[in-house]
Chains A and B, each alone.
Chain A
């Protein structure tokens, strides 16, 4: 049994302590917005916030996540108001297949909370998610739109 706080809610989950957080989120908590892409912390599809820090949840075990504040893509909006990154993603039509975008959005949201006006170099350094569809130029444009708002 593990106690997790996800999107402000407490979950008591029947999982082994070495279960990757990704799978506890998807299969035990039932929040499937966080995606599996590689399982080895390479692609970023599984990115969530742990105490506000963008983290690849496939590389974090349940025991490491206990007692921390976990936010997934489902918890990014405040009530019915979408987060500014989600709004910009819609306005700029960023996603193609969309599969990488939960992780991309979580990574960008964390970057912007740290650096509200990131330079291209800041973006290059912080955003290392794989997008096989190749949405990078829309991602960059949307980040700059948010920063200049």
Chain B
């Protein structure tokens, strides 16, 4: 188990992890008195159940299967368990079970994947039950000891009391006995309105080590005898290594070995990473770049533009009425074409993984958003069975979707396999990371809106052309070839449903998949769909001569939750009152990841090209808010990420490769460019929505709509730097 609250513990856990090879598991079965089996944690403390370990000193260790990458769900999940457990929050600590342990116990911890803003919403039910079940067992153990009814006992902050007899005990004292009890078949969860730990803006559990330099990220792993690897994958995606001249670098300082990794990459292994990287740069490599070397942003744009033509085949994602007939009979029509580029995740910590391979085991230490996917990658790359493999998760220096992929894990294992017995830490340079991402997909969109004589919107045609993530990443999720996720934010129903009622509607996708590998990038398809739809909604409102908020409201009568968050931002920003002199407003709304969100921005523009963002208001209805302080941070962070992409992002393709190589050409917002984000949380209950991603969708359209209000000019292409528009 890798504990992440204290780095000291963390390092010790690594040592244990390495020493306890053979079993690979820190957990064992213990049959002390021939009674029922007690499962024990690494330090010998009893598991009340898989989620809860109670130490004799009353410390409660809560197991967290999902990964922490800054989004705060480690703390949020612990709050949910602690809430039901009724333990003392000041005595809570957390640890990650490993995927190997989970597989060995029939996936007792469920899904490890941490993407799609699902960390809390997809596991809240069973982790809360884990806490509640443990509470019932702990109370039962005390009641049994006192020979009273459990129903006569109460618990507060881990102290159990039997009022009639005046007896008290603590969780730490009864945990051994509780661990032997049969868990109750059913437990009742608390009504969220009675929460005292969950629902509160408690401080995160993982902060201190992040301020002292002691938090261990993948890049910081140290193992005895470890060597370091730097890697270069073919700059053109899909290309291969033809040859490389190892002799040229063999004598360079610290160099131990030059290895081919798969058929497309070469790595240098050296004593330090600096030596490995220096030698790699000096290594002559000949690539077989293949046909993809002819692809450029221009050829991609041309191909996508062809997909906007109605004559081309397309998948229909959302439809009602008859758009064609309605358009033909309309009093007035407008049309606009938008586009959105590739974006690199650019996590602050570049991709890395450390692997140790021997003939009978393979272990990996890395930051991953999906421990089980990384585990599967280790099995596949090592060729060893599950019981001989494991993945030790550490803190991620950012994820944003990138670390849900396992390419870097496979590479580390492929290198380690060529040096059995030697732990290898593979670290990508920033340049490798920028040019070998799994990019936000590239798309274009043509929208046509039609009005009747009274300026009512009677038809809307939304024709998307471009790349599908699922086609590349999860082809089994395609539905008769269609990528249902392509319609995120404009879907007929579900967790990313369209929020407007238009009598004649056609939303379709002409799928075109260039060779640049796409991936899930914070907000995923909501990013471009929200820009397209919400900016065009603004265009339609202006065409109809109506206020953008009033125009939207008329179409949202059947979507009260969408409307409620829109109204919340409008009220907070003071939409019905004039903006300050020289300041202009934009507004947007969307649904994604099960949450309803809206945003409004106030900006001023100098010389038509220098934008100052004065104010941002963002609203969300995620159903329930587990930690408002963290939700506020996720909302603000999503705007920094979304506006960085709008202003500075965009990855272009030339000769089949990505042109941007570092933060000098793929810049990111700084503190002087970012105003405070005023978060308005309006949780309406009854459903569980995500938090990390949804609000990113409204960041760009709110600012783009404000830019139109300020200048009368529409921007239909991202990033703004390509149009010489930047921050003031």
Contact = CB atoms under 8 A, between A and B. Distances in A.
B220 A32 contact: yes
A73 B220 CA distance: 14
Interface in A90-149: 90, 93-102, 105, 123-125, 127-140
B639 interface: yes
Interface in B631-647: 633, 636-641, 644
Nearest to B663: A42
Interface string B322-350: 00000000000000000000000011111
Contacts of A95: 70, 204, 207, 210-211
B437 interface: no
Nearest to A105: B211
A19 interface: yes
A110 to B, nearest CB: 15
Q: Per DSSP, are chain A's interface residues mostly helix, strand or loop, or mixed?
A: loop
B213 A102 contact: yes
A57 interface: no
Given A127-B671, A132-B348, A132-B400, A96 B72 contact: yes
Nearest to A143: B671
Given A97-B395, A99-B397, A102-B213, A40 B639 contact: no
Contacts of A72: 213
A74 B7 CA distance: 13
B348 A97 contact: yes
Contact of B637 (A38, A45, A76, A96): A96
B217 interface: yes
B398 interface: yes
Interface string B668-710: 1111101011000000000000000000000000000000000
B212 A33 contact: yes
B396 interface: yes
B213 A33 contact: yes
A51 interface: no
Residue with the highest number of chain A CB atoms closer than 10 Å, among B400, B639, B670? B670
Contacts, number: 177
Contacts of B349: 35, 37, 97, 99
B212 A74 contact: yes
Contacts of B670: 127-130, 136
Given A39-B430, A43-B663, A86-B211, A137 B348 contact: no
Interface residues of B, number: 60
B207 A93 contact: yes
Contacts of B69: 97
A27 interface: yes
A23 B348 contact: no
Nearest to A44: B670
B723 interface: no
A137 B676 contact: yes
A31 B396 CA distance: 18
A58 to B, nearest CB: 10
Contacts of B664: 40, 42
B691 to A, nearest CB: 13
A37 to B, nearest CB: 6
Interface string B197-217: 000000110111111111111
Most A C-beta atoms less than 10 A away, residue of B219, B637, B664: B637
A5 interface: no
B429 interface: yes
Contact of A90 (B211, B346, B662, B663): B211
A34 B228 CA distance: 18
Contacts of B637: 96, 133-135
Nearest to A140: B671
A133 B398 contact: yes
A139 B210 contact: no
Given A42-B663, A96-B70, A136 B215 contact: no
B625 to A, nearest CB: 16
B102 interface: no
Interface of B: 69-72, 203-204, 206-217, 219-220, 222, 228, 253, 272-274, 346-350, 395-400, 427, 429-430, 629, 633, 636-641, 644, 662-664, 668-672, 674, 676-677
Q: Which 5 pairs between the two chains have the least Cβ-Cβ distance?
A: A33-B213, A134-B640, A98-B210, A97-B70, A99-B397
17 contacts: A35-B348, A35-B397, A39-B429, A39-B662, A40-B663, A73-B213, A74-B213, A93-B204, A97-B70, A97-B397, A98-B207, A99-B398, A123-B671, A131-B348, A132-B644, A133-B641, A134-B639
Given A132-B644, A139-B671, 12 more contacts: A30-B222, A40-B663, A90-B207, A93-B204, A95-B210, A97-B399, A98-B206, A105-B211, A128-B672, A134-B636, A135-B633, A137-B677
